[in-house]
């Protein structure tokens, strides 16, 4: 077995789900009669639900507690779970990595209930898949803890891991964990400047960049 492992982000990387998360927040705010600030989705992309809550409390009249907002958002998201689908090129890259003998893991800032539902929607929920959710760590991305925990679960050193991310926060987490990081932009992040040290992949073809990084581990 290869000593290298691939740690995939979930939302926006494996799954086309960022808009579903955004619509779920919209559903909650609309029911409360609150308008989401302009540019808010880009502001909180890749951040934790806690960070999203804090931003909403600062920028709107939201009076819900974090627990109340989180529960309402999760319910709204799960009601839209059928919207989720694979990002083009993600399934092929994951399969190619596995076929080449590389271990994989899914590392997300989403809570466990959302992670598990998303994996089922994608058809990749299985007992042996290593996953790390926001509930499994003390600090989420951009802190390095989620990726370091995944490496520990896989019994791999950080330098033997390649991270695939679509957000600045996630890419920062991977770099701070001491791992190789591939920034894989999509329509919403096409103009994003990833942190220095990130290998930027073509938005339509992940595997060539991933293979190149794996070959260097």
- Angle (CA) 202 206 210, round 5°: 115
Residue 213 confidence (pLDDT) above 70: yes
Do 65 and 115 lie in a common domain? no
Q: Which of 82, 112, 129 is the endpoint of a domain?
A: 82
C-alpha 64/C-alpha 2 separation (Å) is 48
C-alpha 152/C-alpha 21 separation (Å) is 29
Do 95 and 195 lie in a common domain? yes
Do 42 and 54 lie in a common domain? yes
We report the CATH number of the domain holding residue 35 as 1.10.150
Do 9 and 72 lie in a common domain? no
C-alpha pair distances (Å), 96 with each of 91, 109, 130, 213: 9, 25, 17, 14
Total domains in the fold of the chain: 2
We report the CATH number of the domain holding residue 109 as 3.40.50.1000
Do 195 and 91 lie in a common domain? yes
Do 12 and 55 lie in a common domain? no
Give the residue among 139, 136, 180 at the shortest CA–CA distance from 156: 180
**Is the pTM above the cut of 0.85?**
yes
Q: Which domain holds residue 43?
A: 18-82
Q: Quick: pLDDT tens for 152-211.
A: 999 999 999 999 999 999 999 999 999 999 999 987 777 788 999 999 999 999 999 999
Give the residue among 93, 6, 45, 26 at the shortest CA–CA distance from 191: 45
Do 60 and 112 lie in a common domain? no
Which pLDDT value is given to residue 185? 93
């Amino acid at each position: 077995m290869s000593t290298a492992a691939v740690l995939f982000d979930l939302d926006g990387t494996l799954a086309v789900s960022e808009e579903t998360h955004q619509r779920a927040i919209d559903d909650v705010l609309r029911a409360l009669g609150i308008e989401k600030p302009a540019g808010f989705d880009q502001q909180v992309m890749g951040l934790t639900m806690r960070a999203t809550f804090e931003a909403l409390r600062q920028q709107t009249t939201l009076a819900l507690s974090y627990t109340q907002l989180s529960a309402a958002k999760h319910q709204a998201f799960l009601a839209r779970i059928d919207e989720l689908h694979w990002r083009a090129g993600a399934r092929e890259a994951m399969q190619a990595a596995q076929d080449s003998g590389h271990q994989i893991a899914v590392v997300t800032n989403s809570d466990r209930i959302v992670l598990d539902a998303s994996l089922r929607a994608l058809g990749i929920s299985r007992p042996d898949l290593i996953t790390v959710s926001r509930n499994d760590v003390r600090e989420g991305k951009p802190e390095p803890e989620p990726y370091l925990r995944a490496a520990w679960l896989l019994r791999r050193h950080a330098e033997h891991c390649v991270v695939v991310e679509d957000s600045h926060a996630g890419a920062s987490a991977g770099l701070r964990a001491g791992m190789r990081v591939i920034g894989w932009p999509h329509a919403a992040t096409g103009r994003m400047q990833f942190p220095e040290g990130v290998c930027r992949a073509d938005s339509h073809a992940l595997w060539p960049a991933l293979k190149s990084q794996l070959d260097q581990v």
